[in-house]
Structure formats: C-alpha cells, structure tokens
Copies of this chain bind each other. A is one copy, B any other.
Amino acid sequence: MPYSDLDPVFAHIDRNADSHVARLMEYVRHPSISAQDVGIREVAGLLMGMLERLGFEAELLATRGHPMVLGRGPAVPDAPTVLLYGHYDVQPPEPLEAWTTPPFEPTIRDGRIFARGVGDNKGQHLAQLLAIEAHLAVHGRLPCNVIVLLEGEEEIGSPHLAEAVAAHADKLAHADLVVTADGTLHPSGRGTILYGVRGVTHFDIRVRTAARDTHSGNFGGVVPNAMWALVHLLGTMRAPDGRLTVAGLCDPVVAPGAVEAAAAAALPIDLPALMTELGLSALDAPRDRPFWDRLMFHPTLTINGIAGGYSGPGSKTVLPAEAVAKCDIRLVEAMTPDQALAAVRAHVAAQAPALGATVEVVGSGGMLPSRTPMDSPFAAVLRRALTLARGESPLEYPCMGGSLPDYVFTKTLGLPAFVTPYGNADEANHAPDENLSLSCFHAGIRSGAALLSGLGELTGACVCPVNHTKLHG
C-alpha cells in the first residue's frame, strides 16, 4: 500500500506544529555568520546534538574553512539512501537598523517568523530533521537510509564544498540521490522541483595600451585608448543580435531533451508583469526566444562592469592606459568553466594584435552546470511526495538561471540531485526582515516526511539512476 506509513506521520506533524515553531525560533536565535566567522562552531555543535538525539551518527568534517556537519541515520536494509544537503551558515544581518525586530531575536508577526537565516536555510533543513523525527516518533524507524550534510560556507560561495565532498566521497557516494531544501516556492505558493542549474565562470579581461594613464588633450590621437580597445574587443564577442561570437564557446552545449523542453514550455510566466516590475521595454536579444529557454538552456556572457580611467562624478580628461571588463558566463550542459575560459582566451589572443594592446584574461573561479534528467525514477517519487504533502502537484523546472554547487553531487559524486524549496517567495533572504511563513515551514516538514515515505516505497527496487549503477551492483 503506497505511502501506507505517511498518514500517522502527517498527523504527528500537525499535532506538534507549535512545538516545531518553538524549536525553529530557538535555533535561529544562534547567529552563524560565515562571512564574519560568528557562531559557526556553536551552531555546528547544536546540529551535532540534534543529529545524535535522532539516533544518527554525527561527525564534524573539517574543511580548509568552516566545518561541515555530517549525520548518518540507522541502516535500513535494501532501501535507497537519500543525501539531504543544506547549510547552517547565514548571511550577515547588516544593516541592522533596517530590521523591524532584531535579526537574532526571532519574532512572529502576521503568520511569519522573522529572523536572519530562518528561511535561508535553517528553517528548511530543520524541517528535514523534524520530518525524520516524526517518522521515528510514529514508527520507531525510518523508511529509507538518510545522510544529512550541512555545510557552513554556502553564504560565502561554498569555496570548500567541492574538495570536501571529493575528500569524503566514501561517506557520501553510496547515496542514491541528493535532495536540497533551499530557495523559495513559486509566488503562488505552489511547490517546485528544480532539476538543474546553470554553471558560471568569472573572469576579467584586462586590456593595456600604455604604461600609464595620460592626458586626453596632450596625448589624444597619439596614445591608444585602452577603453576603445576593450570596446572593440568586446564587440567581437557578442553581436548586437545577441549571438555569442566567441569561437568554440558554445560548442559543447547540449540542447534540452523533449521532456525538458516541454516542461520549460509548460511553466507559467507573467511576462507583462515582470517587464513592468523590472522596467523593461524589451527582453534581451535575441528577441524571439521562449522565456524559460533563456534562463535554462542558453549560456550568457555578462559584462558586470568596466574599470579603468575615471568614472566618478564630474569630468576628468584622462586617456586610460588600462581597461578591465569584469565578466561572467553562465554555462549550460555540457559547458565547463575551463572550456569556456579557454575559448575566451583563444578568442582574445586572436583579436589582441589588431588592437595595439596587450590583453590578459584572468579567471576567478566558477562552477560547473548541473542537470538531472526529469525522467529519473526519483523524480516521480518527489513529484508524488510534494503532491501528497501540499495538496497540489509541483511546478517542475528543468534548470534555474543561477548557479549552485549542485555539480558536486551530480558530477563529483555521480548522483541525481533535486532541489525542493520550502521557503515563501517573499522570504527576503539576504535582506533585512528575512522571514519564513509558519505554513511554509509546516508544509516543508510534511514534504520532507512524504519524501522519506516515497523513497521507502522503492525498497528492493532497481531504480537505475542515470550515471549511477550502485543499485545494479
């Protein structure tokens, strides 16, 4: 009988709603600000205690930065293993004066808890832990194997996640799937499943035409202007019609499959409202591209800003000797940061001689893209679990436009990875008055519980995840 264990767990969760809220409020009272190194060890210790009280083996994994908390649930023979990822660090709370109530004194107003980190990500991974607790309280056992991995550096860009996961692959790679509860639901409140992210590579293009800045009158017409060299160089990299014209850059791009393309086409978007909100007269070129395809299936080359010369108030008659374009490229399957940067370097090297300039491309890190097939057997489990927990089927996003280190799971560990956000769309994460609605928190715990039940249904089955053959072994 499918999900036969779930109804009493839902009932338990509903009965304990007030106590769950009280425990979240106690948890977010503790700062854990990775950027400022405030409270990290203390909150990691709190999590170790929580895991141990659940009967998990808890372990603090050292990294070159803040430690990760790892928990392993009691063995459930022949059942699949889910790796629940989250992060216990929070954004700095500043500016403090913009908060209605202090960021680390959680307060309930209008059906929401206001506190730094309550949505991003403490309320979401606590919901997963409370879902585990509910199963254990009702049934004395879990439906499947569970690994919990909570990192302490997500808000500073997860600089050590990849190497730490690779270093501890023996403790993680026997998982069958990764589920992350982070981010926000659709503004309508409908649940979502996210199957992929774009990758990113950051780099500077540094153009130099002279040893020092000169005077635009005394040398204008004599000394080549680095800004003009940069403008002309950039003009060779993206056409006004939106095509990226860096040779080889887009060669690895894998077009979406039929399932992904159909899913993207089916997603809602209120384009007039979005354009009004953002003050757009047109979408970016090319103009005829479907909305979601833009964010999911196409790379971008973004100029973040241009340094050099003088760009402050008033005028300064400077002829810049150096100009630096700060750029990022959002990567889609199967582009990589290295491949993209190599294409940019080759393009720039070919253009430089005609510019009368020396040009250097300086990379500053990146992330691989990640894409989990929407026809993964685990996708069906998540779809059903979210529908049971929330009363309506989730929206399904083949990919999101931004970048998260999901590749660590899909590429380093070779696991299918899914993101199922529990936060309200107006959670104001990274901003003053961050909040989590009580109903979203409650639905999150139910979602986590349904997920565990659904995975339990697969006990003994061969689910054959793509690129992951352990269950065959």
Mark A residues whose CB is within 8 Å of B. 198, 200, 202, 209-212, 214-225, 227-228, 231-232, 234-235, 238, 240, 274, 277-285, 289, 291, 294-295, 298, 300, 302-312, 314-321, 323-324, 326, 328, 330, 354-358, 364-365, 400-403
Residue picked from A235, A303, A316, most chain B C-beta under 10 Å: A303
- What residues of B have a CB within 8 angstroms of the CB of A281 in the complex? 356-358
- What residues of B have a CB within 8 angstroms of the CB of A358 in the complex? 281
Knowing A217-B403, A314-B364, say if A222 contacts B291 (CB, 8 Å).
Answer: yes
| Contacting pair A305 B320 (CB below 8 A) | yes
| Closest beta carbon of chain B to A247's beta carbon, Å | 18
Copies in the complex: 2
- What residues of B have a CB within 8 angstroms of the CB of A315 in the complex? 202, 304, 326, 328, 364-365
| Contacting pair A240 B305 (CB below 8 A) | no
Instruction: Kindly state the separation between the CA atoms of A234 and B227 in the bound complex, as whole angstroms.
Output: 10
Return the contact of A231 from the options B216, B303, B324, B364 (Cβ within 8 A).
Answer: B303
Instruction: Kindly state the separation between the CA atoms of A324 and B306 in the bound complex, as whole angstroms.
Output: 10
- What residues of B have a CB within 8 angstroms of the CB of A305 in the complex? 227, 306, 308-312, 316, 318, 320
Return the contact of A279 from the options B211, B216, B220, B289 (Cβ within 8 A).
Answer: B211
| Contacting pair A221 B304 (CB below 8 A) | no
Instruction: Kindly state the separation between the CA atoms of A324 and B309 in the bound complex, as whole angstroms.
Output: 13
| Closest beta carbon of chain B to A280's beta carbon, Å | 6
- What residues of B have a CB within 8 angstroms of the CB of A300 in the complex? 216, 220-221
| Contacting pair B235 A356 (CB below 8 A) | no
Return the contact of A401 from the options B221, B225, B295, B356 (Cβ within 8 A).
Answer: B221
Return the contact of A200 from the options B217, B319, B321, B365 (Cβ within 8 A).
Answer: B217
Pull 29 A–B residue pairs with CB atoms less than 8 Å apart, ordered by A.
Answer: A198-B217, A202-B315, A210-B279, A218-B402, A219-B278, A220-B328, A221-B294, A221-B295, A222-B401, A227-B305, A227-B306, A228-B303, A231-B231, A235-B235, A240-B354, A285-B356, A302-B317, A304-B310, A304-B315, A304-B317, A304-B318, A305-B308, A305-B318, A305-B320, A310-B326, A311-B311, A311-B324, A315-B326, A317-B328
| Contacting pair A228 B217 (CB below 8 A) | no
Residue picked from A283, A302, A320, A364, most chain B C-beta under 10 Å: A302
- What residues of B have a CB within 8 angstroms of the CB of A330 in the complex? 216-217, 220-221
| Closest beta carbon of chain B to A202's beta carbon, Å | 4
Instruction: Kindly state the separation between the CA atoms of A317 and B358 in the bound complex, as whole angstroms.
Output: 26
Instruction: Kindly state the separation between the CA atoms of A277 and B218 in the bound complex, as whole angstroms.
Output: 15
Instruction: Kindly state the separation between the CA atoms of A355 and B284 in the bound complex, as whole angstroms.
Output: 9
| Closest beta carbon of chain B to A319's beta carbon, Å | 6
From A281, which residue of chain B is reached at the shortest CB distance?
Answer: B356
Residue picked from A218, A238, A323, A356, most chain B C-beta under 10 Å: A356
- What residues of B have a CB within 8 angstroms of the CB of A364 in the complex? 314-315
- What residues of B have a CB within 8 angstroms of the CB of A282 in the complex? 224, 356
Instruction: Kindly state the separation between the CA atoms of A281 and B357 in the bound complex, as whole angstroms.
Output: 8
